[in-house]
Structure 1
Amino acid sequence: MCGRFGFFELKYFIELLRQLEIPFEEDETYRFAPGYNIAPESSVTVLLGNHNTATLTNAQWGLIPHWAKSIPKVRPINARSESLDTKPYFRHMFRNNHCLIPASGFYEWKRTEEARKQPYYIHRTDNRPMAFAALWDRWKPPEKNEKPIISCGIITTEANREMLSVHDRMPVILEPETWKDWLEAGKTGIENLLRPAREGTIELYPVSTLLNNPQYIKKNCIDRLDSEAPL
């Protein structure tokens, strides 16, 4: 599961793309604003796989398949890795439309003995930006004058050892050396990338419950609570 994340390191992400020699173009309509509490239905930064050259642009977080006659009431923000090639909703995207969703970290909630949920911030131990394996699609409204909507969803997998202390699922966090491969949809063996992060890849620590309000978007969303030690 991944229902909230933050991204505030665009410059660092672009530097990594250039170091990895991943060719990309920036869409002329692309806009970036640092986000510390990004919620579903938000416009997020994505790197769309498009054969030889990827595109850095914005997409709506919540998948709308191209074949939908109208915008679905329920728009999945996550897709389980185990069923991507069997569920009709995701099959076309899995075979044709891969993307990266960059993130500085993400949030998950753990139920405590007091029956309340404590939010945790999860980030890479090496402090690099994450890149989630994700799917995208382009939906064209029936009205001729309306612009197409690009949407995306994060692929999830089983939790690794660190993540299990909070939740039994986690987003697929791709290592930088696999980014180029993931962007090439249809490549043989690409499903092998959809696995839990290696142990030691992530660190978790508790943060303020102010995060529970998706309207709360201040930088201190990621501040560690002093009362608990990191996991």
Structure 2
Amino acid sequence: MCGRFAITLPNDAMAQLFSASPANDLPEVPNYNVCPTTQIHVVQGGEGGRRLVSMRWGFLPHWYKAPDGGPLLINARAETIATKPAFRDACRQRRCLIPVTGFYEWTKDEDGLRWPWYIHGEGPLALAGVWQSWKGENGPVNTCAIVTTGANRPMSAIHHRMPVIVGHEDWALWLGEAGHGAAKLMTSAPDDLLSFYQVDRAVNSNRAAGPDLIDPLDEG
């Protein structure tokens, strides 16, 4: 799964990287502790070109009567996304990319304590996502979820799931700009794409902030 991440790229740099027009209400960056239900950066495709917009991380199916009207859907499993009622239409029609600098995963020690790991690549990563416009009392709310798949060999030492990472050469295909065939992209990342290291347990709090959250843990 993917339940927390960091984004440090400035908004204008993000827009340039994805060749996207930026919205005016983008979340503040850097953010080293992006949590579910907050607004995150999302790249959408469309007839007018790509847009970098803000969306709620936590997919809301159309039948939810309120944001807390059902389970919190921050991830969508690649294996079932095409058949699950919540995601199947979005999988076909409303795919997006979610820029991150890195993401967190946790392991437990023998005492049951949760220890966080920071997972990253050599540069920004584009996670596969799906989005949904939900009709709220005060108007439409755009929401999204991160697509996950089985972990690759290195990641499996930390967790059995990982986000689907879309390479630059496949962005157009995932966004629906290059025809059909996006389903083939929902696989685990190559074993050599990511690196990871343990970080301080401070990030276990969703109120924690600051660049020190991604500093390697000083085991000395």
TM category, shorter = over 0.9
Equivalent residues of 1:32, 1:45 under 8 A apart: no
Q: Whole-Å Cα distance in 1 between the matches of residues 104 and 182 of structure 2?
A: 26
**Number of corresponding residues:** 218
State the partner residue of 2:74. Answer: 77
Q: Tell me if 1:123 matches 2:120.
A: yes
Q: Is the 8 A contact 2:153 2:191 kept in 1?
A: yes
TM-score of the aligned structures, taking structure 1 as reference length: 0.88
Amino acid at match of 2:6: G
CA distance in 1, matches of 2:45, 2:146: 14
Provide the aligned C-alpha RMSD in A.
1.8
Which residue in 1 is equivalent to 2:98? Answer: 101
**Aligned equivalents of 2:161 and 2:105: distance in 1?**
10
Q: State the partner residue of 1:21.
A: none
The aligned counterpart of 2:88 is 91
Indicate yes or no: 2:166 matched with 1:169.
Answer: no
After superposition, give the CA deviation of every residue in 1:78-130 in whole Å (9 maximum; x if it has no partner): 00000011111101110110111100000000122232221000000x2x101
**Quick one: distance in 1 between partners of 2:120 and 2:77?**
21
The equivalences for 1:180-195 within 5 A come to 180-184=172-176, 187-195=179-187
The percentage of aligned residue pairs carrying the same residue is 37
Tell me the distance in 2 between the aligned counterparts of 1:206 and 1:75. Answer: 27
1:214 matched to 2:206? The reply is yes
Gaps of 5+ in 2: none
- Of 128, 132, 137, which residue of structure 2 is paired with 1:133? 128
From the superposition, tell whether residues 28 and 16 of structure 1 become closer, same or farther in structure 2 (CA, over 3 Å): closer
Q: Answer yes or no: is 1:55 the counterpart of 2:56.
A: no
For structure 1, the residue ranges without an aligned partner over 5 or more in a row are 19-23
**What code does the residue aligned with 1:75 have?**
L
Q: How far apart, in 2, do the equivalents of 1:155 and 1:193 lie?
A: 11
Q: CA deviation at 1:173?
A: 0.9
* Cα separation, 2, equivalents of 1:186 and 1:93: 17
The amino acid across from 1:83 in the alignment is T
